Amino acid sequence: MSDGPQVTWLPPGAPTPEPAPAPPPERTGLKRLLWPLAAGLGLIVKYGKVALLAAGKLKILTTSGSMIVSVAAYSLIWGWRFAIGFVLLLLVHELGHVIQLRREGVPASAPLFIPFLGAVVAAKSLGRDAAAEARVGLAGPVLGTLGTIGVLAAAESADSDLLRALAFTGFFLNLFNLVPLTPLDGGRAMAAMSPWMWFVGLFLAVGFAFALPNPIIVLIVVVGVLDTWRRWKALREGGEEARSYYRVRPRTRLLVLAVYLGLIAVCVLGMDASHLERTFADV
């Protein structure tokens, strides 16, 4: 075999083939790093505005989107079936607030779900006075408890332990929200009762924090301390305008108290009815 240059024979009159193009120079060092960044930047400039407009039209961060995120988060702990049920119970509870806010003439947003913190509804105020605030606060547990009673009825009809567990959780959720401390619903209800009840709620929330150490409960206690101080200071220093906000007719106070205590009784009885006995063999 010859080691000399290879020669290809062509017949007379055949066209001479074009030489093969030289390979592109290999990007090395800094060029290899900067080239994909420049290309990506070009794509962002070209399509970024379109993507942002599409995201705005799709309303990614809406109720449905935050619900999906919450279901995915809770599924990591409880499984997807329980997670769906739990988020739906939260939705029913929050819709109670939305409905009552709009009845009070206050524009309210749709619920926004925050994994492991529940859900929130945005509104500029809670009504024109403490009575309206109490109605808004109690509307969530009222509708939430009614929805949970429906879950318990379905559990008994289908003999479903999953639904019983959901019902128990729903009753506990609404009962916990009745602790008389803002930002919980019970604190809103106490706005129509007596300011000293805020301090009772603060005492109960601190007791919860020690009995059931939990970052969420600690956060509620911190917010509750700040809000209780703000309200008490406003009541003491705000003059006639602040006092008129908390001036509620005796009949309204009694009605708020009756609904408040009735909800507590229903939730406690509901938790007892939906409680599932568990043993170490079930774990």
Task: Count Cβ atoms below 10 Å from residue 108 Cβ, excluding itself.
Answer: 19
Domain with 227 in it: 124-282
Question: Residue 200 domain-assigned?
Answer: yes
In the chain, count of helices (H) and strands (E)?
Answer: 10, 2
Look at the chain and report how many structural domains it folds into.
1
232, 251, 255, 254: which is closest to 243 by C-alpha?
232
Distances (CA, A) of 80 to 76, 159, 217: 8, 20, 25
In this structure, is residue 213 part of a structural domain? yes
Q: Is residue 41 assigned to a domain?
A: no
Q: Give the containing element (helix H, strand E) for 113.
A: strand 112-114
Residue 251 lies in a domain: yes
Could you tell me if residue 249 is inside a domain?
Answer: yes
Does residue 269 lie in a domain region? yes
Q: Lowest mean pLDDT: which of 10-14, 50-54, 136-140, 175-179?
A: 50-54
Tens digit of each residue's pLDDT (9 = 90 or more) over 103-118: 999 888 888 888 888 8
CA 75 to chain centre: 14
Q: Is 114 helix (H, G, I), strand (E, B) or coil?
A: strand
Distance from chain centroid for Cα 109: 13
Q: With contact defined as beta carbons under 8 Å apart, do 131 and 246 qualify?
A: no
**What tokens does 186 get?**
């019970």
On whether residue 221 sits in a domain, the answer given is: yes
Q: What is the pTM of this model?
A: 0.71
Per-residue pLDDT tens over the stretch 195-228: 677 777 778 778 877 877 777 778 878 888 888 8
Return d(Cα 73, Cα 207) in angstroms, integer: 28
Assigned domain for 49 exists: no
CB contact at 8 A, 160 and 154 = yes
Confidence of residue 96 (pLDDT cuts 50, 70, 90): very high
User: How sure is the predictor about 19, in pLDDT bands with cuts at 50, 70 and 90?
Assistant: low
SS3 state of residue 123: strand
- The DSSP line for 230-277 is HHHHHHHHSHHHHHHHT---HHHHHHHHHHHHHHHHHHHHHHHHH---
3-class SS of residue 112: strand
Most confident region among 22-31, 35-44, 90-99, 119-128 by mean pLDDT:
90-99
